[in-house]
Structure 1
Amino acid sequence: MVFMPTTTYGFDWPDRFVVGTVGLPGDRTFYLQARDRGATVSVSLEKQQSAALAEGIAELLDRLRSQDGNPFNVPTETDELLVDDDPLDMPVDEEFRVGVLSLGWDPKTSQVVIEAAPPPEIDPEELEELQASVDADEPIELEVEPEELLSVRIPVGAAKAFVDRTLAIVNSGRPLCPRCGQPMDPDGHECGGPDGF
């Protein structure tokens, strides 16, 4: 087995960290993009992953804010200076497609830590060998180091701005049908609502 070192794109206190899209509603590609000192890294992800990341950060900020005395000064509103409504930096060159997202908190630096990696690649032959060598009744745990990793550390104010922007972008897609709740396309919609239209 050959282990390749992980290529890490690390951003500590980046100039910019956003979710943005390319394309029209209904055919949008979502990107997570970090920029610092002229270096920009973009990774693609699903709309649902974008929403889950923003909701996870919002929950983390709520927990920190609710601690006695709000020791990390977590804001309830986004500072106007941190609002970022600009499009993604172009050109958008995708480093990888996100398969794994993780979220953490560093109390030493009061930073939210976000990591994104592609889906793990497991050699089927190695998996078969491993399965053959263990008891079938015991679960198999594999620790697979990602080939690439985007690691971003941002302060709480930037995290709040990230949540607001991401949720606004997620919710700005196609309008939902009032009958069936599914997204409506501009060129028509087959509704599976209660009346069957």
Structure 2
Amino acid sequence: MPTRVHEFSWPDRVVIGTIGVPGARTFYMQVRTGANIVSIALEKEQSALLAEKIDEVLDQLITIDGNPFSVPTSTPIELVDNDPLEAPHEQFRTGAMTLDWDPTTAQIVIEAYPLSDVDPDDIDEPLNENSANETEMMLVRMPVGTARAFAKRTREIVGAGRPACPLCGYPMDADGHDCTLPEA
């Protein structure tokens, strides 16, 4: 089965954004180079963890003597992107993701793979020609300033959701929620 790779080496734009209202939002990672746009859906938790891990990698790189990769300590103002998503069309829903660092280009590298549609009970059954769908993935390489801006925006998008209950920590809907505290 061939793998279709949506590759962006120096994207014009890479952001996390949402469609919908808090409590019913769909999160998208959208990447654009020129007219080529790819949007993949992810979970809120995946988005938050991705931002956290990108900041961790960048913060570790700053500690290298002389900061040879010119990693910014904060988001460069010229890279702030608060614009909405560009009419997302979901390419796939993200399952696994990897995060890496490429020192040869001084870029953060993200690989995103779709959720597997394989039913574990069907593994021994041969695939027919109609079910041999092409697999796909997204590969994004972004420079350190863009990565810092991406992480900042993602944290803001994640934080714009439903407020957390001060008692149990779970998200509250506009009409509240049934708070069930763990028994001591």
What TM-score results when the alignment is normalised by the length of structure 1? 0.83
Determine if the alignment matches structure 1 residue 77 to structure 2 residue 65. Answer: no
Whole-Å Cα distance in 1 between the matches of residues 65 and 180 of structure 2?
49
For 1:89, give the aligned amino acid.
E
After TM superposition, give the deviation of residue 171 of structure 1 in Å.
1.0
For 1:93, give the aligned amino acid.
H
Whole-Å Cα distance in 1 between the matches of residues 122 and 167 of structure 2?
50
For 1:109, give the aligned amino acid.
T
For 2:28, give the aligned amino acid.
Y
Structure 2 match to 1:150:
138
Whole-Å Cα distance in 1 between the matches of residues 24 and 118 of structure 2?
30
Determine if the alignment matches structure 1 residue 48 to structure 2 residue 36. Answer: no
Whole-Å Cα distance in 2 between the matches of residues 194 and 154 of structure 1?
43
Could you tell me whether the CA contact under 8 Å between 1:179 and 1:194 is conserved in 2? no
Equivalent pairs counted in the alignment come to 175
Match of 1:192 among 158, 162, 180: 180
Residue 98 of structure 1 aligns to a residue whose secondary structure is strand
Whole-Å Cα distance in 2 between the matches of residues 52 and 155 of structure 1?
19
After TM superposition, give the deviation of residue 178 of structure 1 in Å.
1.5
For residues 106-151 of structure 1, the C-alpha deviation after alignment (integer angstroms, 9 at most, x for no partner) is 111111111101124546477459xxxxxxxxxxxxxxxx810111
Residue 155 of structure 2 aligns to a residue whose secondary structure is helix
Determine if the alignment matches structure 1 residue 110 to structure 2 residue 110. Answer: no
Whole-Å Cα distance in 2 between the matches of residues 100 and 194 of structure 1?
31
Structure 1 match to 2:93:
97
Q: Gapped runs of 5+ residues in structure 2?
A: 126-133
Structure 1 match to 2:58:
61
For 1:8, give the aligned amino acid.
V
For 1:40, give the aligned amino acid.
I
Structure with the greater alpha carbon radius of gyration: 1
For residues 51-80 of structure 1, the C-alpha deviation after alignment (integer angstroms, 9 at most, x for no partner) is 111111111101111111111010001111
After TM superposition, give the deviation of residue 38 of structure 1 in Å.
1.1
Whole-Å Cα distance in 2 between the matches of residues 46 and 194 of structure 1?
26
User: Aligned in 2, Cα 1:73/1:123: closer, same or farther, shift over 3 Å?
Assistant: same
What TM-score results when the alignment is normalised by the length of structure 2? 0.89
Q: Gapped runs of 5+ residues in structure 1?
A: 130-145
Whole-Å Cα distance in 2 between the matches of residues 123 and 189 of structure 1?
35
Whole-Å Cα distance in 1 between the matches of residues 171 and 120 of structure 2?
38
